[in-house]
Structure 1
Amino acid sequence: MNKKILIATLSLFLSLTAFAQRPDAKKVTISGKVIEKGTDFPLEYATIVFENAKTKQLSGGITDENGNFKFEVSAGNYNVRVEFISFKTLPLQQKEFNTDTNLGVIQMAADVAQLNEIEVIAEKSTVEIKLDKRVYNVGKDMMVKGGTVSDVLDNVPSVTVDAEGTVALRGNENVKILIDGRPSGLAGINIADALKLLPADAVEKVEVITNPSARYDAEGGGGIINIVLRKGKANGVNGSIMVNAGDPETYGTSINLNKKSDDYNLFSNFGYNYRNNPGNSMVDAEYYNSDGTTKNFINERRTNDRLSEGFNANFGIDLNLSKSLTWTNALTFRENRGKNPDNVFFYNFDSGFNPTSTRNRFNDQRSDEFSIEYASNFVKKFKKDDHKLTVDIAISQNRENEFATISDQILGNPSSLDTEETSNTQKQQRNLIQADYVLPIGKNGRFEAGYRGSFLNNLTDFTVTPDDSNFSNTLEYIENVNALYMQYGSKIDKFSYFFGLRFEDSNIEVNSLTENDYNTKKYNNLFPSATFNYEFSESSSVSLSYSKRINRPRGRFLNPVSSLSSNINIFQGNPDLDPSMTDAIDLGYLKKWNKLTFNTSAYINITNDSFQFIRRESGLFATTIVDGEDIVDPVTGDVTPIGGTDIRTPVILSTPINLAKEYRAGFEFNLNYTPYKWWRLNGNFNAFRSETQGDYSYVDYLGNTINQNFDNVAFTWFARINSKVTLPYKIDWQTNGTYNAPQTNAQGKSLGVASMNLAFSKDILKDKGTIALNVSDVFNSRKRIMETEIPNVVSSYSEMQWRERQVMLTFTYRFNKQKNERDRQPRREDNGGEGDFMGRP
């Protein structure tokens, strides 16, 4: 930002304070809209300066995301000018303002000379803190160069990604993840796995919506994360090329190409990547007899190399059919092949910790996946500002095949070798149609209504060779959801409100074709939402919001069998699971100073029928046949005499059920602080308490009644801080530190874990190129560490590291596109235009 604008901003702040001290002065309302000349795109954060002709005192305001402005000044004679970074200052004639005045639509022209002097906005990674959501602009984030979307999310305030890639919002894993505002076929069947494969360079920004309005899909008890993919935006032909290489062996490339004119915008993205993500885990377990004495020990050591090779491409065109009608078409596909050799050793010891035997289980996994999606979007704008109709259509297909060859034996005993093969093939078809209508009413009112139809069909075929009917299964999942919504909001002085109601009709089929077991669930639900906001000033406001959410079980939660990595501990889905319902309340406060933005919120989530996991005996046994020697049971340590041929190990099932009522309450705050032009900081802190209440009883295969109590109270917190410093010679240095505090559960606790990422970057080739070096998990400390204690059964200590430390070198070259080129594409109004009267500064 140049000195002129800094001085104007400071003067504006001081004069507003002075004017606020003159309650006797007559106030008039000034309004209007600022757009870019030639494109009619609205300019957000443009400054309208009112300079008193006599006193030279300054007052005025800034535009919102739609280019609109509205503020009060004391009646009088003013010289008016409109200012915006990289645009020519637009002076207006001296004028007397004694009544409310609408200045109409103001057009500003870009200043080419300034474009070469100012710092880039679009290329910088920033966090925009707003009352209803937080927007993380990926920009030039060195931390994620050459990484994946999963890496991007792990840098977003309020969002965490654990060692296995599971995404949580404020510690709640029941979060809905959208791509470009809708459930996407690109995310495939397993969203966590898909996020690890999509390249970070394809992402423009991430929107975090903790308490969505009725306009959004009701899915996701913890909120919504919307990933907005990158699309070319500058006029003419332009683009960028990125190549990267790293250790462990990783390399890839990404190409963005764009051609834009007044009538159309062609955009495309191509990417290739090869990644090796080695991981490891360990479990040290002590087993007990029924009287509490030690029975035996088993130490488990696991290593795996997650190898993936993928290609993705996106083609699209925006057609400006008229000044009021835009039609966008896009075709996207992704292909990925992977290998995951998983090698596990079980070291068995007796009660005195003397070695007895070693067992090795090797799981050679292979996979291939292909996704394709066609999306079409129509936007019809009417004469009145913000009066429009939007229609979206998306059709996608996803195919995922996983194969594994599993060998299991006691070392030194060839006759104990047992080999089996598994095949897991999945096909998914998803169709989506959505229409949204926005109608401004009066001066500040807004009415919205819409329809959304989501139609999903997923077929999973899991087989085990040699044939085992206990585990092989074909599952068909069909989900048809039709939704209608309407909402209305308005603003009265400094108070604004928003009410919404969503109706969803759900028709779900979960069919086990192998077992001839068919489950159909039909239910209708109403999802109300409400938001209230009060502005104390232009830089300070408070909000209160409520929404009702739903979390539908899918995938492995429903499939009776989806893997067989272990033959004694089986995860088994439950086809009869019902959805859980959440009531969410959020109280937020936002305050902005010159160099600091502070946002804090307190929240409560109450969930009925939440999913809980039970562990129970199946009545099945894994059997190892051995001839001619004394052998030791790999699990219990029991000795079988010479000539024994049958070791029977019980198979334990872990199954989700609808059981508990969950209360989750927390507090968080976010800070954006720029102490100096060369130093930017942002931080996030979240602390929450989770309470679960519920009991479960079942009859085991021996006829015994088993009771399990799930009452548990857990408290934990996590913190993240990100610092970016510009060093001499224009070298950027970025540091990211995260700490996840310990958390208790019904059977133990997870320990606290700290981790840090580090990155450096330097612009070269007259700012057309950038070279970046980043180190992910500098101290190789990012793990999931657990302590488990089940009285008179087992105590264990475990560590799991999904990905070891990684070093990445990345080079980016931009052609026909300067580093400081500003985005001029209008934002897609994913928030439904609520910001017009929700009091956003």
Structure 2
Amino acid sequence: MKIIRLSFISLSILFAFQSIGSAQHFDPSRIPKIGVVTGVVIDSISGDPVAYASVSLISEREQTVVTGGITDDQGRFRIDEIRLGRYDLAVEFIGYEKTIIAGINLFPGDGGGIEQNLGTIQLVVTSLQMEQLDVYAESPQWVQTIDKQIFFVDRSLTIKGGTASDALKKIPNVDVDIDGNISLRGDQNVTVLIDGKPSGMTHGGRRAMVDNIPAAMIDRVEVITNPSAKYDPDGMGGIINIILKRGIFEGFNGNASLSAGEYGKYSASGMVNYRVDKWNLLASGSYRKGNRYGKGGRLFEYIYDDSELDSITQQQTLRKRIPENISFRLGGDYYLGKKNTFSLTTTFENHNSRNKNSIDYIQPAIGEIVSIEWDKGINMDYTFRYDRDFDRPEQDLIVDISYNTSLDEEIEEQFEEGEEISEEHHHEEDGIHSHTDEHNSNLILSTDYTHPFGEKTVLEAGFKSTLKSFNSDLEYLFLPYSYKYNEDVHAAYFTMSYKLTDRFGFKIGARVEQVYTKAIVSKESAAENDSTNVFTTVINNAIDESPFDNPYFQMYPSLFLLYDITQSTKLQFGYGKRVNRPRRRTLSPFPRNTLDVNHIRNGNPFLRPEYIDALEFNYFTNTRLLTFNTGLAYKKVTNMIQWWDRDMIVVDGKEYELLTADNAGQAEQYTGHVMLNLRPLPLINLTLNVYGWKSTIYTSEEPDLIGESQGYAGFGNLNLIIPGIVRLELSSRFRGKMLITYGH
């Protein structure tokens, strides 16, 4: 039967070509599109798969790109629906020489075949010879795969000399507001990782601040909206993974850059790399300083049935930030044969920022309050990794050990109108200044193992232990206070992928976690306060209620269905359970600042984790001319954490409003996005993106936490290249008016 079927196909195709040949005009569109090309791309030295390499199929006759794609996480590619003919295949990736596979014959019969498996394609690490480069086409700034979005930082002009915040603003569906808060499709519950792990460079929190990370040190950014059970379940919005640079070029090489801009912006960065035989050594550094300005107005209208507080507050605000940052990164790899790699990396970061905040109270007529906030500190990250490859491309064992520590000092000073404002921070023992020291540390031990079973099944399994410690020391009114928080998370997971057919497959998984937490608030002196006010009252109440313990066990299942309509068009449905654990600012009972009695804000040590059940549907298509991606998501949230829990406290006969975090019952959230990337010509690249969200909170015991929030935003980016003359990049973002639970 196999011989008869092959003969029938050969005869049909031969008849088609005879019919075409007898016509007066050759019509290529009549040639059937039934060809398939597959293969695996690996590093020629280490044998590791090369993920996200560009694969282009080139017409042998016309030498033009006909179709193509990118490799997956395992270096595999599959291009189908190819018109029968003769082709060349080009494989490219940053840091490797371009590899050409010539003479691919997509014809049935001797020397050819409808389906061609090119086997293993080895990419050779390039030696930089800039005088030989002649670039007329531009590699894409970002790549969209079925499960993640990847942004290559070096390919953007507008973030040169910037920070990770500037890089994130260039990614569809991601935004960073004026305060540095990161959101993904409007959701600020995002987990930010550095090289796949929490880091002191993001100030140790899940809702991280990334202004301390220079863009010059970043290789790429990965965005995962609905991760599988393999990943930590933290973050309702998803995961943003910032991958730092790691040199791969052969021999000794390096680069350096200097930039200057308006508002006193200066930056310098450099990187050197040495790779030979079994060793790869790297070093990089960056320095950055600049000013950032923000100006705005605020109008709050409060309607209280149980309070005599002023119902309207009107303010004019002015903010000036002067961040200064220096970073160094040292590391190396040792290759024991082609299947064993040992890596060690350390990163040092020092930051010193001065923030001037001016609030002019128009109503009530308090006048102008000026405060200076100093934030200085250092971060150190140490990472060891062992990577064991096997003969089968998908089989892999990874052992990771990482430790990071950070020290931060925050000083807050208040100035009266007309008082001279100092340019250098100083710590004074009076009631107008507060001084806070913070120490964070994370120790992570993890092992991940991937094993294929046949051609259709892949099993992943692993375990991870994360030991976190956060200590905060506050000095206020001459007395020292201490807040200590420890969180230990022990987890194990498995996932299994299975391809039912060439087009349809699924991936199931589960992750289990046992968590132990403990928080202690104390006064580090036996002396009593000479005076009391609303801030000392808030702190003393937390001391009386300390300690706080909250151990819990939880399982997080996941399920994904994948359907390939064609090689370039895919559908994905996913379900996952996730968690938002309370973090530093939402837990610490210390007031956020001790200057503004009209807006007292502190954390809540009694907070419980919020849990999210997320359903997501995505449609993705990619051709030589365009990439289109759209998706819808539904999330059900329980124990939702909200900041705007309003409590009233009375001190010395005066009533104050205290805003704190609390679990606000349940919520439902809907999000949607559309992304279009057009490439009408090799030198033109246009990206358009719009996303929106709507959330409804209900069943809360606090009436002021019940309500709706919604909004929309967008992004646009144009790249234009005129070879040998100019490269132009234009970017723009917009946000629509947002409705939030407590106002507009």
| Range of TM-score over shorter length | 0.7 to 0.9
SS at 1:556's partner residue? helix
User: Where does 1:128-167 land on structure 2 (aligned, <5 Å)?
Assistant: 128-167=143-182
Is 2:367 aligned against 1:359?
Answer: yes
Relative to its length, the structure with more strand (as a share) is: 1
Is 2:503 aligned against 1:494?
Answer: yes
- Determine which of 509, 513, 525 is the counterpart of 1:504: 513
Tell me which residue corresponds to 1:87.
98
Q: Which amino acid aligns with 2:471?
A: L
Task: Work out the CA distance in 1 between the residues paired with 2:71 and 2:704.
Answer: 52
Q: Per-residue deviation at 1:493?
A: 2.0
Task: Work out the CA distance in 2 between the residues paired with 1:555 and 1:294.
Answer: 30
SS at 2:640's partner residue? strand
Tell me which residue corresponds to 2:689.
684
Task: Work out the CA distance in 2 between the residues paired with 1:188 and 1:446.
Answer: 36
Q: Which amino acid aligns with 1:283?
A: R
Tell me if the contact between 1:90 and 1:108 (Cα under 8 Å) persists in the aligned partners: no
Is 2:352 aligned against 1:341?
Answer: no
Tell me if the contact between 1:694 and 1:709 (Cα under 8 Å) persists in the aligned partners: no
Q: Per-residue deviation at 1:61?
A: 7.1
Task: Work out the CA distance in 2 between the residues paired with 1:45 and 1:302.
Answer: 49
User: Where does 1:574-589 land on structure 2 (aligned, <5 Å)?
Assistant: 574-589=604-619
Q: Per-residue deviation at 1:35?
A: 4.3
Task: Work out the CA distance in 2 between the residues paired with 1:506 and 1:662.
Answer: 24
Task: Work out the CA distance in 2 between the residues paired with 1:433 and 1:286.
Answer: 49
Task: Work out the CA distance in 2 between the residues paired with 1:101 and 1:679.
Answer: 32
Q: Per-residue deviation at 1:335?
A: 0.9
Task: Work out the CA distance in 2 between the residues paired with 1:299 and 1:140.
Answer: 44
Tell me which residue corresponds to 1:548.
577
Q: Which amino acid aligns with 1:196?
A: D
Q: Per-residue deviation at 1:196?
A: 1.4
User: Where does 1:219-258 land on structure 2 (aligned, <5 Å)?
Assistant: 219-258=234-273
Task: Work out the CA distance in 2 between the residues paired with 1:193 and 1:109.
Answer: 37
CA offsets 1:746-769 (integer angstroms, 9 cap, x no match): 3421xxxxxxxxxxxxxxxxxxxx
- Determine which of 637, 652, 657 is the counterpart of 1:652: 657
Q: Per-residue deviation at 1:45?
A: 3.4
Tell me if the contact between 1:420 and 1:466 (Cα under 8 Å) persists in the aligned partners: no
Q: Structure 1 residues 695, 524: CA separation in 2 closer, same or farther (over 3 Å shift)?
A: closer
Task: Work out the CA distance in 2 between the residues paired with 1:346 and 1:510.
Answer: 37
Q: Per-residue deviation at 1:505?
A: 0.9
SS at 1:743's partner residue? coil
Tell me which residue corresponds to 1:635.
none
Tell me which residue corresponds to 2:486.
478
Q: Per-residue deviation at 1:163?
A: 1.8
Is 2:334 aligned against 1:319?
Answer: yes
Task: Work out the CA distance in 2 between the residues paired with 1:59 and 1:336.
Answer: 50
Structure 1 unaligned segments of length 5 or more: list them: 1-13, 350-356, 412-417, 622-647, 698-707, 750-841
SS at 1:201's partner residue? helix
Tell me if the contact between 2:189 and 2:207 (Cα under 8 Å) persists in the aligned partners: no
User: Where does 1:609-620 land on structure 2 (aligned, <5 Å)?
Assistant: 609-612=639-642, 613-620=644-651
Tell me if the contact between 1:407 and 1:419 (Cα under 8 Å) persists in the aligned partners: no
Task: Work out the CA distance in 2 between the residues paired with 1:445 and 1:290.
Answer: 62
Q: Which amino acid aligns with 2:55?
A: A
Tell me if the contact between 1:406 and 1:419 (Cα under 8 Å) persists in the aligned partners: no
Q: Structure 1 residues 598, 494: CA separation in 2 closer, same or farther (over 3 Å shift)?
A: same
SS at 2:198's partner residue? coil
Q: Per-residue deviation at 1:253?
A: 1.1
Tell me which residue corresponds to 1:116.
133
Task: Work out the CA distance in 2 between the residues paired with 1:652 and 1:294.
Answer: 9
Q: Per-residue deviation at 1:728?
A: 7.6
Q: Per-residue deviation at 1:346?
A: 2.8
Q: Which moved more, 1:237-246 or 1:540-549?
A: 237-246
Task: Work out the CA distance in 1 between the residues paired with 2:82 and 2:297.
Answer: 70
SS at 2:216's partner residue? helix
Q: How many residues align?
A: 671
- Determine which of 711, 717, 721 is the counterpart of 2:712: 717
User: Where does 1:222-621 land on structure 2 (aligned, <5 Å)?
Assistant: 222-284=237-299, 299-347=314-362, 359-407=367-415, 419-467=431-479, 473-491=481-499, 492-514=501-523, 515=543, 517-561=546-590, 562-612=592-642, 613-620=644-651
CA offsets 1:9-34 (integer angstroms, 9 cap, x no match): xxxxx9798424x8xxxx9x765434
Tell me if the contact between 2:191 and 2:207 (Cα under 8 Å) persists in the aligned partners: no
Q: Per-residue deviation at 1:224?
A: 0.5
Q: Per-residue deviation at 1:89?
A: 3.3
The TM-score, its normalising length taken from structure 2, stands at 0.82
Q: Structure 1 residues 384, 283: CA separation in 2 closer, same or farther (over 3 Å shift)?
A: closer
Tell me if the contact between 1:722 and 1:737 (Cα under 8 Å) persists in the aligned partners: yes
Q: Structure 1 residues 674, 371: CA separation in 2 closer, same or farther (over 3 Å shift)?
A: same
Task: Work out the CA distance in 2 between the residues paired with 1:198 and 1:513.
Answer: 34
Q: Structure 1 residues 37, 325: CA separation in 2 closer, same or farther (over 3 Å shift)?
A: closer
Tell me which residue corresponds to 1:796.
none
Tell me if the contact between 2:340 and 2:386 (Cα under 8 Å) persists in the aligned partners: yes
- Determine which of 714, 723, 726 is the counterpart of 1:731: 726
Q: Structure 1 residues 520, 287: CA separation in 2 closer, same or farther (over 3 Å shift)?
A: closer
Q: Per-residue deviation at 1:138?
A: 1.1
Q: Structure 1 residues 360, 383: CA separation in 2 closer, same or farther (over 3 Å shift)?
A: same
SS at 1:461's partner residue? strand
Q: Per-residue deviation at 1:68?
A: 2.9
Q: Structure 1 residues 34, 477: CA separation in 2 closer, same or farther (over 3 Å shift)?
A: closer
- Determine which of 43, 64, 73 is the counterpart of 2:71: 64
Tell me if the contact between 1:179 and 1:229 (Cα under 8 Å) persists in the aligned partners: yes
SS at 1:33's partner residue? strand
Task: Work out the CA distance in 2 between the residues paired with 1:583 and 1:607.
Answer: 7
Tell me if the contact between 1:440 and 1:447 (Cα under 8 Å) persists in the aligned partners: yes
Q: Which amino acid aligns with 2:709?
A: A
SS at 1:265's partner residue? strand
Tell me which residue corresponds to 1:197.
212
Q: Structure 1 residues 115, 604: CA separation in 2 closer, same or farther (over 3 Å shift)?
A: farther
CA offsets 1:404-427 (integer angstroms, 9 cap, x no match): 23345899xxxxxx9522111111
Tell me which residue corresponds to 1:175.
190
Task: Work out the CA distance in 2 between the residues paired with 1:551 and 1:410.
Answer: 45
Tell me which residue corresponds to 2:424.
none
Structure 2 unaligned segments of length 5 or more: list them: 1-26, 420-429, 524-542
Q: Which amino acid aligns with 1:617?
A: M
Identity of aligned residues (%): 24
Q: Per-residue deviation at 1:147?
A: 1.3
Tell me if the contact between 1:167 and 1:175 (Cα under 8 Å) persists in the aligned partners: yes
Q: Structure 1 residues 385, 288: CA separation in 2 closer, same or farther (over 3 Å shift)?
A: closer
Q: Per-residue deviation at 1:222?
A: 1.2
Task: Work out the CA distance in 2 between the residues paired with 1:572 and 1:208.
Answer: 31
Tell me if the contact between 1:60 and 1:72 (Cα under 8 Å) persists in the aligned partners: no
Q: Per-residue deviation at 1:141?
A: 1.3
Q: Per-residue deviation at 1:110?
A: 8.7
Task: Work out the CA distance in 2 between the residues paired with 1:131 and 1:72.
Answer: 17
SS at 2:639's partner residue? strand
SS at 1:393's partner residue? strand
Tell me which residue corresponds to 1:800.
none
Tell me if the contact between 2:191 and 2:208 (Cα under 8 Å) persists in the aligned partners: no
Aligned-residue CA RMSD (Å): 3.5
**Greater relative contact order structure (CA < 8 Å, 6+ sep):** 1
